[in-house]
Structure 1
Amino acid sequence: MTELSEAQLRRVAEAKTEHGSERAAAKALGMPRDTFRYQIKRAAEKGFLGYKPVLPGFELKQSSAQLDAHGNVEKEWIKQHKEAGPKFEMPAGQVMKGLSAFVDGEGRIRHQWIKTRNDTITPDLVAALTSVFDRYKGRARVVPAPRRFDRNQLNVVPIADPHNGMLSWRPQTGADYDLRIARERLLDKSSDIVALAPRSKSCLIANLGDWYHANDQRNVTPKSKHQLDVDGRWFKVLEAGVEVFMCIIDLALAKHETVEVVNIPGNHDPEATCAMALALRLFYARNKRVHIAFPSDIYYRRFGVTLLGCAHGDKLPPSRMAMAMAVDQRKDWGETAYHWFLYGHIHKETANTIGDVRVESFSTIADKDNHAFAGGWRNAQALNVITLDKRAGEISRQRVNIPPPGMR
């Protein structure tokens, strides 16, 4: 921006003094308010607004006063400095390289510097995984289709936040959880829930996000950079997560003519989920009874008189799910009687009605990590299957509970 002259800065300072508000002063000078705000801050830096606190663009740093015998202020000293800038956001394509700090004599942090570098892991992640899983292309074993099923029914199996690869230690959190336990629990409870489900033509397996605890070998959440407790090498975790999903799909194939799979990226595993969806699509490429949907933050599916939506819940809050569905699916919205939105992220079961939309969250099957334990989050664990009828909407649901750690 062009350097402002002293005359111009005096001019905006006088206008502010004369007209009082920034809006009135900017209007009097015939300039946009943002332009005036920028120039008045520069004028304050030059001292053209005096020194009465707090000047535009500055923050109060220190205030001290001298009082008389009656407690009245005789003199006052004010220290102010430039106000802080906007909250730091990691630039696109960058990751944290390091953090430097300036501390005082007591070891307290006074200033910090964030060092970034180009992200050399994420951009090549899917390409690398494609080559790893390419050998599985079309190798899904053929599971015979069931002979009897109800053509007017759809079984929906929501799986929320299993956090494969998370590590929890009983002495610290009250329960053990690792890659082996996650795999066994997913297979055990999925087998139970499929056995309880009615013989319907189709099954929708909805991974509502955070299938994996970590997105890559950095073992931090991609956006917030929270350190994660993980079990095993990341590629080992990735492969185990894909293989257990294959087993769940095969369980569903034994009881349904068609199986549809949707993978919603979570805040813990946005790229890892896409990689898993790619691996599953390659594995079932020649199986016409399996459809692996494109991984998306929001997924919609119409079945007869029911329109359902899926999201993780970190980007789209429940308060906006109903409106998003109405706008995104105008035609199906008007032609359906029942509207239902499923999400995870909060690790517990809730159900609210917004308009005529049932907005419902589902509990995790995972135990608490140290972060959740320390934060006091205590929720029941379960897996559900909900059956929809083309003409009647939801007609039944079955639930398999996971007992608390002390009762297993």
Structure 2
Amino acid sequence: MTNELLKIGIQKRNKEISMSWQDIVDLHGNGKFRDGEDLRCWVKNQLRKNGALIRASNTKEKTLNPVEEIDPIKQYGEKMEIHKDGSHSSDKLLQMSAEQSKDVNYLLSAHGYDNSSWELLSARNNFWNVYSKVDGVQTLYSSKISVKPRTDSLSEEDLKLFFEDLSKNYQSPLHSPTNYSVDGKMLELNISDLHLGKLCWNGDSGDTYNYEIARERFFYIINDILTRTQGYKFEKILFIWSNDFFHTDGINGTTTAGTRQDTDVRWQQMYKLGVKMLVEGIDLCSQFAPVETCYIGSNHDKATSYYAVEYLDAWFRNNPNITVNNDAKSRKYVEFGQCLIGLSHGHSEGKRAGKLMPIEAREAWGRTKYHEFHAGHFHSEKAVVEENGIIVRYVSSPTSTDNWHFESGYVGAIQKSMSFVWDRNKGLMDVLNTTVESE
């Protein structure tokens, strides 16, 4: 290797290659030289000791292997490190364009990382030109990146597998609405803050809750409301579930913002169980009237609920009785006759909630007479005083008290859901409470 390095050094002195002395050290030095200047001095001293090599270099005798026959990418000392926090560092010599050096997905792929599983933390690219008689001047990059595993809750492949599994095993009930009327009323079946996957232990919170209890309460509420409203003829059912339906967001068992939660089920199982519950619940409602549902961005499950509503949109894509609003905006507005209902989780807007409706739904506001804004988040019923024709109503939750709420003193709220019957011309006609019993 010493002879090869000397030959390359002679070619550098004769200006036959465009690499710097430091580039040669990085590619071929194998740790024997401090820097490029150290190599340059060594080559100079070797030439002083051996005049034959000087003559060979001046006459360009064929005994010297030309540097262009050496593949710098193969000679480069690639490195990969795994750190305690799970992140990786990778150092490679790459041949790429200036545009590719700025492309996150290209860099991940070039270093051998799947962009669906890994996230780029940092990247540094140093480049130089290498001369080849065959290819001319080539630009190579010493590319150094740091990556970490993605904490996204679900990948495209996960969603595909869940969808295929449910498609093979799910038996859908017949869609034959029995309480349907085109001139009827609208049922708002609202199950806010279910927190599927939350774990509550009676020993430290005075209450018990797990995914099995959550599922039982979910279907109990649906069946209770559908049974109690058999005397109505509904034009449609507005099914509201996307208010912290899932307890966590991501693979680490945290909220969207990263707050650790007590859970009793793995994130994959939580999602799979949740979408199956939603499909069954919507199918059950659709036997009574056409169903409309939508996405609402919440603080516990902003991403996972969005994945769930996209799942529902795909599942019911050919069902004319079911409408899925998968718009990514966190707030929604539903117009029904003279009624305009705003929907939000309620964790961000504060006192601004009621003031947003005439701005964000300006045209619908002008067409309607009865205006309400329904939100969740607080796990208890709370109605703001009507102001300028808008009632902001915070609805209750059927979930149990966990340790954090108990330690913080947020106890005593009645565990229930609140549903609403709307008349096209007369506004809100009835409020239905479904109280659940703690274990």
Q: Structure 2 length as normaliser, TM-score? A: 0.62
Q: For the residues of structure 1 that align with 2:431 and 2:340, how far apart are their CA atoms?
A: 17
The amino acid that maps onto 2:314 is L
Task: Summarize the Cα distance change of 1:94–1:316 in structure 2 as closer, same or farther, 3 Å threshold.
Answer: farther
Q: For the residues of structure 2 that align with 1:349 and 1:143, how far apart are their CA atoms?
A: 35
Would you say 1:298 and 2:327 are equivalent positions?
no
Q: 354-363 vs 138-147, which deviates more?
A: 138-147
Q: Given that residues 242 and 305 in structure 2 are in contact (C-alpha distance below 8 angstroms), is that contact kept between their aligned partners in structure 1? A: no
Q: Given that residues 249 and 259 in structure 1 are in contact (C-alpha distance below 8 angstroms), is that contact kept between their aligned partners in structure 2? A: yes
The amino acid that maps onto 1:400 is T
Would you say 1:312 and 2:345 are equivalent positions?
yes
| SS, match of residue 184 in structure 2 | strand
| SS, match of residue 154 in structure 2 | helix
Q: Given that residues 396 and 418 in structure 2 are in contact (C-alpha distance below 8 angstroms), is that contact kept between their aligned partners in structure 1? A: no
Aligned to 1:202: 236
Q: For the residues of structure 1 that align with 2:179 and 2:387, how far apart are their CA atoms?
A: 37
Q: Given that residues 137 and 284 in structure 1 are in contact (C-alpha distance below 8 angstroms), is that contact kept between their aligned partners in structure 2? A: no
Q: Given that residues 193 and 384 in structure 1 are in contact (C-alpha distance below 8 angstroms), is that contact kept between their aligned partners in structure 2? A: no
Q: Given that residues 142 and 287 in structure 1 are in contact (C-alpha distance below 8 angstroms), is that contact kept between their aligned partners in structure 2? A: no
Task: Summarize the Cα distance change of 1:323–1:172 in structure 2 as closer, same or farther, 3 Å threshold.
Answer: same
The amino acid that maps onto 1:207 is W
Q: Unpaired segments of 5 or more residues in structure 1?
A: 1-92, 96-115
Aligned to 1:121: 151
Q: How many residues in Structure 1 have an aligned counterpart in Structure 2?
A: 289
Q: Given that residues 173 and 284 in structure 2 are in contact (C-alpha distance below 8 angstroms), is that contact kept between their aligned partners in structure 1? A: no
Instruction: Work out which of the residue numbers 258, 267, 279 in structure 1 matches 2:311.
Output: 279
CA deviation digits over 1:332-379, x for unaligned, max 9? 111111111010111111111232101001111110111011111121
Q: For the residues of structure 2 that align with 1:126 and 1:120, how far apart are their CA atoms?
A: 10
**1:381 Cα deviation (Å)?**
1.2
**1:120 Cα deviation (Å)?**
1.4
Q: Given that residues 130 and 278 in structure 1 are in contact (C-alpha distance below 8 angstroms), is that contact kept between their aligned partners in structure 2? A: no
**1:148 Cα deviation (Å)?**
4.5
Q: For the residues of structure 2 that align with 1:177 and 1:142, how far apart are their CA atoms?
A: 29
Q: 133-142 vs 169-178, which deviates more?
A: 133-142
Q: For the residues of structure 2 that align with 1:381 and 1:365, how far apart are their CA atoms?
A: 4
Aligned to 1:215: 249
**1:284 Cα deviation (Å)?**
1.3
| SS, match of residue 392 in structure 2 | strand
Would you say 1:184 and 2:184 are equivalent positions?
no
Task: Summarize the Cα distance change of 1:137–1:263 in structure 2 as closer, same or farther, 3 Å threshold.
Answer: farther
Aligned to 1:156: 188
Q: Given that residues 248 and 301 in structure 2 are in contact (C-alpha distance below 8 angstroms), is that contact kept between their aligned partners in structure 1? A: yes
The amino acid that maps onto 1:200 is F
Would you say 1:386 and 2:420 are equivalent positions?
yes
**1:133 Cα deviation (Å)?**
3.5
**1:154 Cα deviation (Å)?**
0.6
Task: Summarize the Cα distance change of 1:311–1:140 in structure 2 as closer, same or farther, 3 Å threshold.
Answer: farther
**1:56-205 equivalent positions in 2, closer than 5 A:** 120-122=150-152, 125-135=154-164, 136=166, 141=172, 143-150=174-181, 151-197=183-229, 198-205=232-239
CA deviation digits over 1:152-185, x for unaligned, max 9? 3110012211000000111111111001111011
CA deviation digits over 1:33-63, x for unaligned, max 9? xxxxxxxxxxxxxxxxxxxxxxxxxxxxxxx
Aligned to 1:35: none
Instruction: Work out which of the residue numbers 273, 276, 286 in structure 2 matches 1:243.
Output: 276
Instruction: Work out which of the residue numbers 385, 401, 405 in structure 1 matches 2:435.
Output: 401
Q: 137-146 vs 386-395, which deviates more?
A: 137-146
**1:225-236 equivalent positions in 2, closer than 5 A:** 225-236=258-269
Q: For the residues of structure 1 that align with 2:320 and 2:237, how far apart are their CA atoms?
A: 14
| Structure with bigger gyration radius | 2
Q: Given that residues 256 and 303 in structure 2 are in contact (C-alpha distance below 8 angstroms), is that contact kept between their aligned partners in structure 1? A: no
**1:30-41 equivalent positions in 2, closer than 5 A:** none
Q: Given that residues 340 and 358 in structure 1 are in contact (C-alpha distance below 8 angstroms), is that contact kept between their aligned partners in structure 2? A: yes
The amino acid that maps onto 1:364 is S
The amino acid that maps onto 2:293 is V
**1:137 Cα deviation (Å)?**
6.3
Q: Given that residues 140 and 283 in structure 1 are in contact (C-alpha distance below 8 angstroms), is that contact kept between their aligned partners in structure 2? A: no
Aligned to 1:288: 320
**1:323-334 equivalent positions in 2, closer than 5 A:** 323-334=355-366
Task: Summarize the Cα distance change of 1:140–1:330 in structure 2 as closer, same or farther, 3 Å threshold.
Answer: farther
The amino acid that maps onto 2:161 is V
Q: Structure 1 length as normaliser, TM-score? A: 0.66
Task: Summarize the Cα distance change of 1:311–1:354 in structure 2 as closer, same or farther, 3 Å threshold.
Answer: same
Aligned to 1:32: none
Task: Summarize the Cα distance change of 1:385–1:213 in structure 2 as closer, same or farther, 3 Å threshold.
Answer: same
**1:140 Cα deviation (Å)?**
7.0
CA deviation digits over 1:109-136, x for unaligned, max 9? xxxxxxx9756132x8352343223425
Identical positions, percent: 24
Task: Summarize the Cα distance change of 1:395–1:235 in structure 2 as closer, same or farther, 3 Å threshold.
Answer: same
Instruction: Work out which of the residue numbers 406, 410, 415 in structure 2 matches 1:373.
Output: 406
Aligned to 2:41: none
Q: For the residues of structure 1 that align with 2:280 and 2:219, how far apart are their CA atoms?
A: 7
The amino acid that maps onto 2:264 is D
Q: For the residues of structure 1 that align with 2:203 and 2:278, how far apart are their CA atoms?
A: 30
Q: For the residues of structure 1 that align with 2:343 and 2:265, how far apart are their CA atoms?
A: 30
Task: Summarize the Cα distance change of 1:323–1:187 in structure 2 as closer, same or farther, 3 Å threshold.
Answer: same
Q: For the residues of structure 2 that align with 1:385 and 1:140, how far apart are their CA atoms?
A: 27
Q: For the residues of structure 2 that align with 1:250 and 1:241, how far apart are their CA atoms?
A: 14
Q: For the residues of structure 2 that align with 1:286 and 1:337, how far apart are their CA atoms?
A: 34
Q: For the residues of structure 2 that align with 1:374 and 1:145, how far apart are their CA atoms?
A: 48
